Chain A
């Protein structure tokens, strides 16, 4: 009786559990490639998604990398950039941008260091272009990083670069006082801890 009950229970479960519709990425036996999620035809533009601003979407204008960030530089943007950098870039470039990430240590070709003089002096749009189209051994990240996030990451890369040549004079008053008095470790370094907690 018990077995009967369980089987009856199981039978009516599945019926309603699997409604006759496709869940995301579910297999279809109608299409030859078995994808129920149909790929877009090349050149399709969804309404309101025309990528007309060349500078914003490609990082380049007339084939030259854009020099200015096409959005206001805010703390929020940099923090977003740091978060995205740590997710998508740090596996190869490392959390500090020296090109010694985990994947490189596992045998991937040496990634570029952002502290290399060539990259220190390059226009910011260059980074966006490389993220969008890839460069050398680096694949493109256009499906993983949204256009606005690419700029946020580029801005954060600039911050990483600047941090290398920063002096004590660059530290704002309040923070600097903490540094000079030795400070309480927890209070003055809480920001750094946030950035390295994923390491």
Chain B
């Protein structure tokens, strides 16, 4: 009786074992990749807001400091969305006829809040505090990106834990002088690591062990 499988089938069988391993590895790798992708983290997603507010125009064009509107960022865990009154500081006279601003005028007249859609939403089991970051020399730009170039606000970072830890392990990679915290397009005057190490000491930034302790962020 003749053989069903030719002799080369032995080789194929061994190869396919490797193939299976490769397939499993590829599958695992693509899950890891997917987990970090913009699709899952919602980074760079377009968010439709009730008003087409442009940071590009207000920050990039007119040169407003972030703190003109986000007044609580230096003292509070939450960087507030400005009240309608703050919009009306200028828009009581500028772009008076603009239909884009109708919701702002309506809100100012009736006292009803504007319903902005939150772009950066950390999970509720993370305790994040804006003030400590800003006061220790973490720039707005470091996490929020070049807001002065964004016509519509979008999240640029993954906001995943490994992204937080990247800085919590080695904050000197990112620290900048306090006076430059709200600056956009900041370029360090010299070696970033050297400046970062000096600022870390000057601003009394805690050691990596404390900064990466579970209860620093999850409490």
Residues of A within 8 A of B (CB): 2, 5-6, 9-10, 13, 16-19, 21, 23-25, 27, 33-35, 83, 86-88, 91, 102-103, 106-109, 137, 139, 143-144, 194, 197-199
Known A-B contacts: A17-B125, A25-B81. Give 12 more (CB < 8 A): A2-B27, A13-B123, A16-B123, A17-B123, A17-B124, A24-B78, A25-B80, A87-B68, A102-B62, A103-B62, A139-B92, A198-B183
Residue of B nearest to A106 (CB): B94
Would you list which residues of chain B between 161 and 213 have a CB under 8 Å from chain A?
Answer: 179, 183
Q: Are B123 and A27 within 8 A (Cβ)?
A: no
Within 8 A of A (CB), among B66-110: 67-68, 71, 77-78, 80-81, 83, 85-86, 88-90, 92-94
- Asked if B49 lies at the interface with its beta carbon under 8 angstroms from chain A, I say no
A137 to B88, CA, bound (A): 11
Contact A16 B124 (CB under 8 A): yes
Q: Is the CB of A23 within 8 A of B124?
A: yes
Does the CB pair B125–A87 fall under 8 Å?
A: no
Distance of A53 from chain B, by nearest CB (Å):
21
CB <8 Å contact, A108 and B80? no
Minimum Cβ distance to chain B for residue A23 (Å): 7
B 26-46 to A, binary, CB cutoff 8 A, 1 in contact else 0:
010011001100001000000
Q: B94 — which chain A residues lie within 8 A by C-beta? A: 103, 106-108
CA distance A171 to B92 in the complex (A): 43
**Which residue of chain A lies nearest to B83 when distances are taken between CB atoms in the complex?**
A143
Q: Which residue on A lies nearest to B115, using beta carbons?
A: A27
B65 contacts A86, C-beta separation under 8 Å: yes
Which residues of chain A are near B83, meaning CB under 8 Å? 143
B64 close to A (CB within 8 Å): yes
List chain B residues, Cβ under 8 A from A27.
115
Closest 7 CB pairs of A and B: A19-B124, A24-B78, A17-B123, A87-B65, A102-B62, A139-B89, A144-B71
A87-B63 Cα distance, complex, nearest whole Å: 10
The answer to whether the Cβ of B113 comes within 8 Å of any Cβ in the partner chain is yes
Q: How far is the CB of A199 from chain B (nearest CB, A)?
A: 7
A33-B65 in contact (CB<8A): no
Task: Report the separation of the CA atoms of residues A147 and B192 in the bound assembly, to the nearest whole angstrom.
Answer: 36
